[in-house]
Amino acid sequence: MKKFLYVLLALAMLPIAVLVIITPMDSQKQYIFGLLSIGVLFLMGFVSKKRSVSVIMVVMSVLLSTRYMYFRLTQTLHFNSEIETILGMGLFLAEVYVWVMLLLSYLQTVWPLKRGIVPLPDGMTQWPTVDVYIPTYNEPLDVVRDTVLAAQCIDYPRDKINIYLLDDGKRREFAVFAADVGVGYITRNDNNHAKAGNLNHAMKLTQGELITVFDCDHVATRIFLQATVGGFLKDPKLALVQTPHYFYSPDPFERNLSVGRNIPNEGSLFYGPIQQGNDNWNATFFCGSCAVIRRSALEEIGGFAVETVTEDAHTALKMQRLGWKSAYLNIPLAAGLATERLVVHVIQRTRWARGMTQIFRLDNPLFGRGLTIQQRLCYLSAML
């Protein structure tokens, strides 16, 4: 109801917004208007952190930015030579890109959904069975061991949880370790489709109602399943519950910059306002680890997506196209290792960017059936 009232208010204020954007001003008046507006924004941010104040700040930011773009479009695109045209239009298109990203980011983050834990029923007989997958390829056993042992300590009925070490490296010491600690060990003859293929192969050999995925360096807390599984019983259309990726080791920026540990890193942005905002529009991304997925939803889309190198986000997109719901629980329930070296950090981010570009090209969220407008725009923001 509150959102509906905000929409009505926005429609009522639309003529004023148009007036603010298109009213001509000379340079002196524009300077005064801009400085006053920026001063008001800073003052509002300093005085109050209420959601309503944040929304007003977003509206002011959009108006100021759109007024600037209107000015650029109507008064500055006049060129005297070919080189001026090329450079001037290049700069203008770059500013259009930034403006579009600003609008999409505000759509994602202006209404964050802050979920709580859905409790499981008292009777454990109603709790679903869970398969825990720990995929690995070339990571050392010292790293993987802690993840496996932590998974065994998850507080869940022993007859309803099965833990599997998915070793794409086919290493004898991993098979011996799995046998020693009493977890399943699964390998395959090839490494087709990398991690996604590894997970899909395991799906054929297991039968749990839910599937939990941990990267091989993510150590789970004891309450992980009790905090995440309840929603699947409450909502039969819920396909995914994602939790934050929390790192107990510093990444290269945090380790090498003097203020690196005192300011929030990029993960705090994505696993905070962005994922909570996505959740509000039923557009939560699967992030490859620290998540629980309903097997029947995966089977309906043919398993984990293999068409792109970001199988996680693409898998979530496929499920949401078929009407499945997703959820984001902003409580760190597992901790892992951050990238140790800058070159590895850059390679990882480049792979993510390449994967999102592949999704944009192969399964563009703007087209095709099944997604709401808000879901399409949330994915578009990530891909752009």
Query: Which residues belong to the active site?
Result: 168, 312
Q: Are the C-beta atoms of residues 154 and 225 closer than 8 Å to each other? A: yes
Place of tokens 């990029």: 266
**Closest alpha carbon to 184 in 147, 141, 134:** 134
CA 263 to chain centre: 20
In one-letter notation, the amino acid at residue 330 is N
Question: Quick one: which H or E segment has residue 377?
Answer: helix 373-383
Q: Are the C-beta atoms of residues 305 and 315 closer than 8 Å to each other? A: yes
CA 236 – CA 230 distance, rounded (Å): 11
CA 383 – CA 381 distance, rounded (Å): 6
CA 335 – CA 202 distance, rounded (Å): 24
CA 129 – CA 208 distance, rounded (Å): 5
Question: Quick one: which H or E segment has residue 280?
Answer: helix 275-280
CA 367 – CA 354 distance, rounded (Å): 20
- Partners of residue 350 on adjacent β-strands: none
The secondary structure of 53-74, three-state, reads HHHHHHHHHHHHHHHHHHHHHH
Query: Which residues neighbour 295 within 8 Å (Cβ) at sequence distance 6 or greater?
Result: 131, 203, 207, 208, 209, 210, 211
CA 293 – CA 209 distance, rounded (Å): 9
CA terminus-to-terminus distance, the chain = 32
